[in-house]
Chains A and B, each alone.
Chain A
Amino acid sequence: MSFADAVTLAPFIAAVLAAAAIILVDFALPGRKVPALATAFIGLAITALLVAVTGQSGATAFNGSYRVDALTTFLDVLFIAIAALTIAYAPDYLEERGLPVAEFSAVLVFAMSGAMLIAGSADLLVLFLGLELMVIPGYVLAGYHKTDGFSTEGAIKYFLLGSFSSAIFLFGLAFVWGLTGTTRIDGVSSVLTQIVAGKAALSPALGMGLAFLTTGVAFKIAAVPFHYWTPDAYQGSPTPVTGYLSVGPKIGAFALIIRLFASALGPLAVEWNIVIIVLAALTMTLGNLVALTQDNVKRMLAYSSIAHTGYMLVGFAAFGAGKLEGLEGLLYYGAAYAFMNLGAFGVIAAIQKRPGVTSNLSTFAGLMRREPALGILMALFLLSLTGIPPTAGFFGKFYVILAAVQAGGWVTALALLAVLNAAVAAFYYLRVVVYMFMREPDAEIPVIRHGRLVWVGLAVSTVLTLALGLFPGILLELVNTAAKAIG
């Protein structure tokens, strides 16, 4: 590793070191949460600073297998924000259940570093490496409450299907490598360009490789019909973990899709876009329809996260049809979704602070009376998830639909399906609002005091959810340059 490589990789190295530092601090001062948390936040801040300094340089490392472009920078910042917010929400919840905070933070930062590796990979093998580095800590986190049967069950399902899909994905990579003779993303792309131009034949084996890759990533983003692991993993996991799982690995997997499909397989866009369109239609419709019948808010949000995957896929389909705005919309939606969904899970985690409080709808009855601040914030996040202006969720939908309308053809039909889905989704999101604002609780639930960190986390989520809705201009340029790095 040359010095130049180290500079290019600096943010990633900092993230790994931060995770290691948390473990060391915990080793030196066992069981003390403040030093561990301080280390985590300082580590994340340094990582963010390095991202800002080295960002958008276009520099490559390790003979071009890792590259920092505007998209890397955008995604890195997003991943760091997701990790920081998750760490802010978690201690309250974990401590009450006797779960160690320091280990949690360390594992989470490791997962984040994996996502960052995906964001910067210019080689299929690095891509896979990043993917595994991102999801394996995820399995640990899902089963973090090891005395809780549901947590363990969810973790096992997540692990089995996750490693299964990783294997399928790797199998697909092998095909692509075997037929193109390279694992470099731009190398694959140029070979495929020649194939598409008719200079070489498109073999059935390559088609099969493509099918395996699609299946693998469809598992990772929980697209229908590859979504079956999601509800159990989400419902069983400790609530702060659920929040993280629903945004971190999801956006990480979308980074993978962008790097793989948009860059490496870009020349085959016409072929794979048909699949994306079908996946998008199925994913948002089924996710929403099943969410309608859920009485557990965590499970409901799990299905709704499937639906949101569908909306993001609409943006990707518009990109596949040749509209760069589709990719911009996808990135904007990802950021908006991350903050509003983390906010919602932050509230749920706060409500569930006392062990034994379920995430059933009935827990939310009369929340507005009991804890008005949490009630109002939850309502805001739910309205944003519904897509009511002036929130981040609205502008995200706006952007994705605008791109889909521009793309024309079947993608425009997707736009119509997306808005009809949004109306369906309003029903189950508003149901929670009904319980919070309009129902009285069955039994008196005592008011809980929440840690300061929780409020800071919620404040950040709130400000970002509103700011990305009211002043979308602050992010538009970023998503534009990030998308241009691909298109």
Chain B
Amino acid sequence: MNSISGLPLTTIVTFLPALGALVVAFSPGNKPDWARKLALGFALITWVVSLAMLGGFVATQGGTQYNEAYAWVPAFGISYHVGLDGLSMVLVVLTTTLSWISILASFLPIQTRVKEYMISFLMLEVGMTGVFVAQDLFLFYIFWELVLVPMYLIIGIWGGKNRIYATIKFVLYTLVGSLLMLVAILATAFTYAQTTGSWDGAFDVAKLIAFAGQGHLNGTFGFFAFGAFALAFAIKVPMFPFHTWLPDAHVEAPTAGSVILAGVLLKLGGYGFIRFAIPLFPEAAHTWAPVIIVLSLIGIIYGAIVALVQPDLKKLVAYSSVSHMGFVTLGIFVFQEQGLQGAILQMVNHGLITGALFLLVGIIYERTHDRTIAKMGGLGSATPVYAAAFGFFVFASVGLPGLSGFVGEFLTLVGAFKAVPAAGVVATFVMILAAGYLLWMFQRVTFGELSDFLKGLGSHLTDMKPIEAMTLVPLAALVVIFGLFPGLILNLIQGSVQAMLSAAGQVVPIALAVWR
């Protein structure tokens, strides 16, 4: 256990935002600025803690670090066990980073019920971080559900016109999946207890994975249990055909809600596949893999095609998410080192890039109160800074080499070509489509004469404000850094990648030295 001066850092990084929420709750109700600044302050401290943990993280060491374990419900072997492996570490930092950026991005757009908003956001951060650090399935499930409530409120209270429909759809979709997963979790724990004769460790992730490694969770049981886990994660990712909640939720959510939704919430699904579903049920994972690969490909193509015809900026980005997240599940289920590395990189990059794109859409929406692409045009001359930033992230999303989006997709495709060449071919072609819908959108929004609609706004159409730029600069910096040095992430996750592949039973170690 490496911890700085013996502090329980994992618990701190998880629950510090909860403390922040409590403090915000007691801040004076008539001073929304206090709530804003307190929330930002706590999110920033949490971020610093997570960076300190990243600094102390030993990449070469396998397994989880910063472990803390206390018995919780001993009768069923449930414990409060938290810790981080490389993948968790990367995703926790992504969460803490996007959280403070989102809170900062909410300063201007959110003007009603600020206090409640900030409390919801901080509690959301607790849930998300908790999912990534939980090393006990019961605890994991609690955090998994905890995410639901604040997001439900964020979309439902501060969302757009159809927000109530969207938020209920979001909750119900997620709940159906997660409740079936709960049954699978309980059945798995019971199988463990029955086989070993004791409930001790029946919910502990590491012990269950070791148990699964002895082949106890194979066969029909594994087939259905994996199905339940996979359904919960597939809804979250979201995979075709379980994606229909996503465009609604994205379109109705406030900007920061969309950023977190795309940036972190969707990653919960990918993380779940890598950390739980596949290591626990390796045999079933292979049985199901063809289905998931096909669905991923459909998602990649379908998302891209639908994005191509979207008249609404935010919906376009939302559908591009469906397409991009298809690469993640594809990369995971080819069971190749590069595929998995690519999938994880893609998760991080999609979080950064799509998060930024949602921020950009939010910035223009603040001025126009409209997101119809057809009404835009000529922003390049009217708001050059905005247009430049927009262009940067559009190119990052397309996968321009040198920016981070490229590496993830490239590695995913390498993995796909090695395992399932046909899938690689299809996915590669879709990248052309992606360039199509993104660049065409960019062209319609920024090039040419300033549209009549935008002209009508007059002086309301201002360029980016400093506070808005502050939310984008860190994301842009990370996109460049990870584009040039993907090894920074790849080194961290190497242990997790090997762990999953050895659990899945097919290790094909091929070093791509170029990318290290």
List chain A positions with a Cβ less than 8 A from chain B.
368, 383, 387-390, 394, 398, 401-402, 405-406, 412, 415-416, 419-420, 422-423, 426-427, 430-431, 433-434, 437-438, 472-473, 476-477, 480
Which residue of the partner chain, among B75, B76, B164, B176, contacts A423 with CB atoms under 8 Å? B176
A405 contacts B190, C-beta separation under 8 Å: yes
Closest Cβ of chain B to A73, distance in Å, is 19
User: 8 Å CB contacts to A: which residues of B165-186?
Assistant: 167-168, 171-172, 175-176, 179-180, 182-183, 186
User: 8 Å CB contacts to A: which residues of B147-202?
Assistant: 148-149, 152-153, 156-157, 163-164, 167-168, 171-172, 175-176, 179-180, 182-183, 186-187, 189-190
B146 contacts A402, C-beta separation under 8 Å: no
> Total interface residues on B, using CB and 8 Å?
32
CA distance A394 to B156 in the complex (A): 23
A423 contacts B175, C-beta separation under 8 Å: yes
Which residue of the partner chain, among A388, A415, A438, A477, contacts B149 with CB atoms under 8 Å? A388
Taking the complex as formed, is B514 at the interface, i.e. its CB lies under 8 A from any CB of chain A? no
CA distance A472 to B78 in the complex (A): 11
Count, A-B residue pairs, CB within 8 A: 76
* A427 surroundings in chain B (CB, below 8 A): 168, 172
B180 contacts A473, C-beta separation under 8 Å: no
Closest Cβ of chain A to B261, distance in Å, is 18
B74 contacts A438, C-beta separation under 8 Å: no
B141 contacts A472, C-beta separation under 8 Å: no
B156 contacts A422, C-beta separation under 8 Å: no
* B156 surroundings in chain A (CB, below 8 A): 434, 437-438
* B187 surroundings in chain A (CB, below 8 A): 405, 412
- In the complex, 24 of the A-B residue pairs with CB atoms within 8 angstroms, ordered by the A residue number, are A387-B179, A390-B146, A401-B186, A402-B189, A405-B190, A412-B187, A415-B183, A419-B182, A419-B183, A420-B176, A420-B179, A420-B180, A423-B175, A426-B172, A426-B175, A427-B172, A430-B168, A438-B157, A438-B163, A473-B73, A473-B74, A473-B75, A477-B75, A480-B75
CA distance A477 to B179 in the complex (A): 26
CA distance A412 to B75 in the complex (A): 21
CA distance A412 to B152 in the complex (A): 30
* A420 surroundings in chain B (CB, below 8 A): 176, 179-180
* B182 surroundings in chain A (CB, below 8 A): 398, 401, 419
* A433 surroundings in chain B (CB, below 8 A): 152
8 nearest A-B residue pairs (beta carbon)? A419-B179, A389-B142, A423-B176, A423-B175, A402-B186, A405-B187, A438-B156, A476-B75
Closest Cβ of chain A to B4, distance in Å, is 28
Residue of B nearest to A397 (CB): B182
CA distance A390 to B142 in the complex (A): 6
* A368 surroundings in chain B (CB, below 8 A): 116
A426 contacts B180, C-beta separation under 8 Å: no
Known contacts A402-B190, A419-B180, A427-B172; decide if A383 and B157 are in contact (CB<8 Å): no
B73 contacts A405, C-beta separation under 8 Å: no
Known contacts A388-B145, A390-B142, A476-B75; decide if A434 and B168 are in contact (CB<8 Å): yes
* B74 surroundings in chain A (CB, below 8 A): 473
Residue of A nearest to B187 (CB): A405
Residue of B nearest to A368 (CB): B116
CA distance A322 to B115 in the complex (A): 51
Closest Cβ of chain B to A324, distance in Å, is 13
Closest Cβ of chain A to B157, distance in Å, is 5
* B72 surroundings in chain A (CB, below 8 A): 473
* B153 surroundings in chain A (CB, below 8 A): 437
CA distance A431 to B164 in the complex (A): 9
Residue of A nearest to B155 (CB): A438
Residue among A389, A416, A472, A476 with the most chain B CB within 10 A? A389
Closest Cβ of chain A to B126, distance in Å, is 12
With contacts A402-B76, A406-B190, A434-B168 known, what are 17 further pairs, Cβ within 8 A? A388-B145, A389-B142, A389-B146, A398-B186, A401-B186, A412-B187, A415-B186, A416-B183, A419-B182, A420-B176, A420-B179, A422-B179, A423-B179, A430-B152, A437-B153, A437-B156, A472-B73
B171 contacts A426, C-beta separation under 8 Å: yes
Closest Cβ of chain B to A427, distance in Å, is 6
CA distance A423 to B171 in the complex (A): 9
CA distance A297 to B287 in the complex (A): 46
A423 contacts B172, C-beta separation under 8 Å: yes
Residue of B nearest to A415 (CB): B183
A388 contacts B164, C-beta separation under 8 Å: no
A388 contacts B179, C-beta separation under 8 Å: no
CA distance A398 to B185 in the complex (A): 10
* A431 surroundings in chain B (CB, below 8 A): 168
CA distance A215 to B455 in the complex (A): 75
Closest Cβ of chain A to B27, distance in Å, is 14
* B172 surroundings in chain A (CB, below 8 A): 423, 426-427
* A388 surroundings in chain B (CB, below 8 A): 145, 148-149
* A437 surroundings in chain B (CB, below 8 A): 153, 156-157
B73 contacts A416, C-beta separation under 8 Å: no
B157 contacts A389, C-beta separation under 8 Å: no
Residue of B nearest to A390 (CB): B142
Residue of A nearest to B143 (CB): A389
User: 8 Å CB contacts to A: which residues of B51-100?
Assistant: 72-76
Closest Cβ of chain A to B77, distance in Å, is 12
Residue among B73, B149, B164, B179 with the most chain A CB within 10 A? B179
CA distance A192 to B283 in the complex (A): 48
* B183 surroundings in chain A (CB, below 8 A): 401, 405, 415-416, 419
Residue of A nearest to B184 (CB): A405
Residue among A394, A426, A427, A437 with the most chain B CB within 10 A? A426
Closest Cβ of chain A to B162, distance in Å, is 12
CA distance A389 to B168 in the complex (A): 18
CA distance A406 to B186 in the complex (A): 9
CA distance A398 to B189 in the complex (A): 12
Closest Cβ of chain B to A392, distance in Å, is 13
A438 contacts B190, C-beta separation under 8 Å: no
CA distance A402 to B141 in the complex (A): 14
* A438 surroundings in chain B (CB, below 8 A): 156-157, 163-164
* A412 surroundings in chain B (CB, below 8 A): 187
Closest Cβ of chain B to A316, distance in Å, is 18
Residue of A nearest to B144 (CB): A389
CA distance A416 to B148 in the complex (A): 21
* A423 surroundings in chain B (CB, below 8 A): 172, 175-176, 179
User: 8 Å CB contacts to A: which residues of B92-141?
Assistant: 116, 141
CA distance A406 to B152 in the complex (A): 33
Residue of A nearest to B138 (CB): A398
Closest Cβ of chain A to B296, distance in Å, is 25
